[in-house]
Amino acid sequence: MDRVINDADFFSIVNEMFTDKIPFNKGLGIKVESIGPDCVKTLFEMRDELMGNYKRKMLHGGVISSVIDATGGLAAFMSIQEKMRGKALEAKLERAEKISTIDMRVDFLRPGLGKWFVATAYALRTGNKVVVTRIELHNDQNDLIAVGTVSYLVV
């Protein structure tokens, strides 16, 4: 049976899916800090496994890119939900399975130094088949570490 649920319950289900059910996100330790149709924020703590430069205790560039991609994907998913308002939960969640990255640009602005990091993402444009997002990654000192623009195919 298809069920329609309220926004708070939907956000909770999406949070659990993103944080606990996607093994790569779980491995990176990404947690959803806030989620909504206009903006999402994720956060993760620095760990030895995420370092690219062990002497400087600096994040690996691949970790930065991966977090930007994952957080942008969540923002893309949330932006298309506005077009699905009133649809059944199963239909909304099924859209997550149909989002794939088609283009990504990351600008590394400062070394990835910090105890924890926050990625903030929002959709720049939500079309019928493509969503373009913008993501910023800040450290615990609120230094801007990297920015990204990622396009996703949504079928």
Higher pLDDT, 86 or 42: 42
Domain ranges of the chain: 7-154
The Cα 116–Cα 124 span in angstroms is 26
Burial status of residue 70 (CB atoms within 10 A of its CB: 0-12, 13-18, 19 or more): buried
Backbone angles phi, psi at 93, to 5 degrees: -70, -30
Return mean pLDDT, the chain.
Answer: 91
Residue 4 has a pLDDT of 60
The Cα 39–Cα 29 span in angstroms is 20
Q: Give the residue-averaged pLDDT of 133-145.
A: 98
> Which tens digit of pLDDT belongs to each residue from 50-94?
999 999 999 999 999 999 999 999 999 999 887 777 777 777 777
> Which tens digit of pLDDT belongs to each residue from 12-23?
888 888 999 999
Topology classification of domain 7-154: Thiol Ester Dehydrase; Chain A (3.10.129)
Q: Give me the residues paired with residue 146 across strands.
A: 108, 137
The Cα 53–Cα 59 span in angstroms is 7
- Return all residues near 87 (Cβ < 8 A) that are at least 6 apart: 4
Q: Is the pLDDT of residue 123 over 80?
A: yes
Contact 84, 92 (CB under 8 A): yes
Residue 1 has a pLDDT of 46
Higher pLDDT, 6 or 36: 36
Residue 15 has a pLDDT of 87
Name the percent of the chain in helix, strand, coil, to the closest 5.
Answer: 35, 35, 25
